[in-house]
Structure 1
Amino acid sequence: MINRRHIRVKVMQSVYAMQQSHNDDMVREEKFLKHSILKIFDLYVLNIQLLVEVQKLASKKMELSKRKILATSEDLKPNTKFIDNKVINAIAESISMESYLEVNKLSNWSLDDEYVKILFDELQKSDLYKNYLDNKEDSYKIDKAFVHDFYKEIIAPNEKLAEYYEDKMISWVDDIPFVNTWVLKTLSKQKESKNFILGNLYKDKDDEDFVSELFRKTMLKSKTYEQDITDKTPNWETDRIADIDMILIKMAITEFVNFASIPVRVTINEYIEIAKDYSTSKSSYFINGVLDKISKEFTKDKRIVKIGRGLL
C-alpha cells in the first residue's frame, strides 16, 4: 500500500505543477493527483504480473522444444522447477489479480511482449536461474526466495522496462522505486497456506483523505504561509528560495496546523528526507532550520495543537 511519504511526494508534484503552469483550477489538479496515485496500483500489478508472464513464456518454449524433430533428452524431459514454482503459480491463480487486470484492461504484456522476452533471456543467463534449477530441494521456502531474488536482481533494475514505463506514464518515473519496494514486501509476506490476494492502495480512509486535505489546504493557505516563511528568513529574498523548498515548507506548515495526530518532529523529518531526494544539496538543512523556528513560534502562539502524548 502507498505510504504517507509517497503521498507527500505526489502532493508536492501537483502543487509544483500548478505553480509552474500558473493554473488555478484546483479541482482539475486534485483529480489528476488522485488519478496519478490510482495508477501506482496499476504499476504495482503490472510488475507482479511480469513474474507470471515470464513463467508462461518459459512453459511455451518448453512445449515447443518437445516438438522438435531432433529433440534431445533434455528437450523431452525438461527441468520444470521454474514452471512449478509455487509462489508464481499462486499469483497466476489469483482471482483478485485476474479481476484487476480484466477490469482495468491491463493487457500490456500481451501487446508489448518483447519486455517479457527480455526478462526471460536475462533470467536464463543468470546464475540465479541455474542455481535454482540445480537445487534438488523442492520447498515453498526455496521457491519464494528465488522469486524474491528474480524480482530484485532482474526485474526491478531493468533499464529497458523503466524506459517503457516512463513512456507509458511520466509520473511513473518517481513511482518505480517505491513500487519495487512494495512488490518485494508483498512477495516476502506471501504464505504457503494462503491464496495470493491483492491488498489495498491505501492503508485506511485517513490516508486517502490525507491526499486531498494536504493538497487543498496547502494551496488555499499558500500566500499566508509564504508570509510566515518570509518572516523567518529575513536574510533571504523569497525568489531566492528554491521552488521545491518553498513548497515543502508550506506543506509542512499545513501539517503542523491541520493534522493534529501527526507529531511535529515526524513532519519535519519527512520533509527533510523528501528535500534530499528532490531539491538541492543544502535544502534539507535550510528546511530544517526554517521549520524548527516556525514550529516553536506556532506552538507558543497555540497555532499548533496536537492531540495525544509525545506529539511535539
Structure 2
Amino acid sequence: MLTRRGLRVKVMQVLYMVSQDRETGQQTASRLLKENIRNTYRSLIYLLHFLTRLAEQVQAEADRRKAKYIPSEEDLTFNTILYTNPVTEYLRNSRFLKDQMRKERLVSGDEEELVEAVYAELKAWDVYSQYQTQTSYTTEDHNRFLRALVRKFLPANEAFDQFMEDMIPTWADEEQVVLA
C-alpha cells in the first residue's frame, strides 16, 4: 500500500519542481509536499473504507439469499469469508477509520451503485471464486487474497478507477503509490 518508495517519489517530484522554478520558496515547496502526502493519505483511507463496503456487500447478499421464501442449500450455505476476513472485520469496526472518513469528508452517497457494480465483477473473478470455495483459511490466505484484490482487481476495474478520479481529483497520481 503506502510505501517509502512512493513517498520518496513524491518528495523528488516537489524537489524537481522547485529546482525548475527558482521563484518557488521553501514554504511553498513544503506546502505542496504536505498537500501531496495528504492526498495520498486520503486515497488510502478511502481505499480501506471501500474494502469494508465490499465486505458489507457480501453480507448483504448472504442476508438476501437466506431471506428468500424457499432458499436453496446454496443460499443457506453462502460463504461470507470476505465479510469475516480478520482484516476487513478489523477495518469495519475501526473507530479511527470512521473518524478519518468523516474528518477528510470522504463519505459519498454515490458509492452504493459503485459497490454493487464492483462486487458483481468481483464475484466473477477467479481469485475470489477460489478464495470463497476454500474450506479452511490461514492468515496468509486472507492476506494473499486482499493483496490480490488491491493490487490486481481494483486497478483493473474501470468503475472503481473512474469513481476514485471523481472522489479524489489526484487519483491518477496517487494510484501507483496507494495500490502498490
Which residue is equivalent to 1:289?
none
Pick which of 154-163 and 122-131 moved more: 154-163
The runs of 5 or more residues in structure 1 that have no matched partner are: 182-312
Does 2:40 correspond to 1:40?
yes
Cα distance change, pair 63–15 in 1 and its aligned pair in 2 (3 A): farther
2:14, 2:29 → 1: CA distance?
A: 11
1:57, 1:138 → 2: CA distance?
A: 21
For this pair of structures, how many residues does the alignment match?
Answer: 175
Q: Are the counterparts in 2 of residues 57 and 117 from structure 1 also a CA contact under 8 Å?
A: yes
Deviation at 1:53, TM superposition (A): 0.6
Q: What is the root-mean-square deviation of aligned Cα atoms in Å?
A: 2.6
Deviation at 1:28, TM superposition (A): 6.4
Deviation at 1:131, TM superposition (A): 0.9
Which residue is equivalent to 2:76?
76
Q: Are the counterparts in 2 of residues 11 and 33 from structure 1 also a CA contact under 8 Å?
A: no
Which residue is equivalent to 1:158?
157
Q: What secondary structure does 1:142 align onto? A: helix
Deviation at 1:43, TM superposition (A): 0.3
Q: Are the counterparts in 2 of residues 52 and 92 from structure 1 also a CA contact under 8 Å?
A: yes
2:131, 2:162 → 1: CA distance?
A: 29
* 1:252-293 deviation per Cα after TM superposition (whole angstroms, max 9, x unaligned): xxxxxxxxxxxxxxxxxxxxxxxxxxxxxxxxxxxxxxxxxx
Cα distance change, pair 67–102 in 1 and its aligned pair in 2 (3 A): same
Which residue is equivalent to 2:141?
142
Cα distance change, pair 33–6 in 1 and its aligned pair in 2 (3 A): closer
1:48, 1:13 → 2: CA distance?
A: 31
Find the structure with the greater CA-based Rg: 1
The runs of 5 or more residues in structure 2 that have no matched partner are: none
Once the two structures are aligned, what percentage of the paired residues are identical?
18
Matches within 5 A, 1:221-300: none
Deviation at 1:34, TM superposition (A): 2.6
Deviation at 1:47, TM superposition (A): 1.2
Higher relative contact order (CA 8 A, sep 6+): 2
For 2:113, the aligned partner's letter is E
Which residue is equivalent to 2:8?
4
Deviation at 1:30, TM superposition (A): 5.6
* 1:32-58 deviation per Cα after TM superposition (whole angstroms, max 9, x unaligned): 553233121000111122111101011
Q: Are the counterparts in 1 of residues 55 and 83 from structure 2 also a CA contact under 8 Å?
A: yes
Deviation at 1:78, TM superposition (A): 1.8
* 1:88-125 deviation per Cα after TM superposition (whole angstroms, max 9, x unaligned): 112222232222112222213x4322222222111100
Matches within 5 A, 1:110-129: 110-129=109-128
The structure carrying a bigger helix percent of its residues is 2
Matches within 5 A, 1:54-203: 54-108=54-108, 110-181=109-180
1:97, 1:131 → 2: CA distance?
A: 29
